[in-house]
Amino acid sequence: MKQRRLGRGGPEVSEIGLGCMGMSFAYGERDDEESARTLHRALDLGVTFLDTADMYGAGHNEQLIGRTLGGRRDEFFLATKFGFRSPTGGPRSDAPDTFIDTSPEYVREACDASLSRLGFDTIDLYYAHRRNPDVPIEDTVGAMAGLVAAGKVRHLGLSEVNAQTLRAAHAVHPIAALQVEYSLFSREIEDELLDTCRELGIAVVAYSPVGRGLLTGTVTADQVGRQGDFRGGVPRFQGENLDKNLKLVEAVRRVAATLSATPAQAALAWLLARDELVIPIPGTKRVKYLEENTAASEITLTPEQFESIESAATGVAGARYSDASLQFVNQ
């Protein structure tokens, strides 16, 4: 697996990572045995960058990674996140009245809880999952920097913040990575944030790089409507929007076929070619999809192929989150 650097002067990680959320949360029933096989297979394939968060399954995902890969800790670079809380306590985003806590006190509490669930001494990359705008970002990042000084965290990141917040945070302590939704179907980062990351030398960790499964070409209305699949509440996956978007996926499939690639592989190859700063972390709990995704690292696009893939995906219908979730992004 080829490598990319996580921020200016930062460590090298696999250029395609693994998002672990779906192993515990948001995409139907769990399958811990298959998830464990997927985690081990990822390391065997050279995927060294794993992404989790405390709220994925209300702590389940961190525990899964810890017990599955504890004996291989020196083989991977682990990112986790904090911020989502329910009023009754605990890290989760699916409870009523969920709120974002980025207070300095909670930064320290959440980190210790993540380390305990993981069973690790150190977190390689620690993100603020979202930002509470009522808490100065300087206070949040200052507390996160204290974790670095204490040896509990190696590098800092932010997720779904705007350019102004990113600059203010970076002035307090170097930010190694910005995690943001980025794919052929979600390109808002290109308005300003991508240039800001280039200027500051901050890696762009692209989550949902195959459009929450849309760009795999396998998504159906019945699939996203099943219990436990959060996409049923996302406008992009509803009614006429889904019908229109699936037609775009077929257009991407036709271009991908000329590369002897799947639509997901074409989408990932497009992201990798977009900028050296970008590190996609496609999520899956299945070995077969992991192997499909990682094979995209071997695809080199010509400028003409890059443009063809991009053109095929133009005109996505529907917002990438529900109105309730959009309030948490671009803060």
Task: Name residue 219's amino acid.
Answer: V
The percent of the chain in helix, strand and coil, each rounded to the nearest 5, is 45, 15, 35
Q: What element of type H or E holds 292?
A: helix 287-294
Task: Note if 56 is an active site residue.
Answer: yes
Tell me how far apart the alpha carbons of residues 225 and 237 are, in angstroms, rounded to a whole number: 9
* Helix, coil or strand: residue 124: strand
- Can you name the residues that pair with 229 across neighbouring β-strands? 27
Tell me how far apart the alpha carbons of residues 294 and 169 are, in angstroms, rounded to a whole number: 32
Active-site residue, selected from the candidate residues 27, 56, 126, 289? 56
By CB neighbour count within 10 A (0-12 exposed, 13-18 middle, 19+ buried), where does 186 fall? buried
Tell me how far apart the alpha carbons of residues 15 and 11 are, in angstroms, rounded to a whole number: 12
CA dihedral 311, 255, 319, 60 (to 10 degrees): -140
Which residues are tagged catalytic? 56
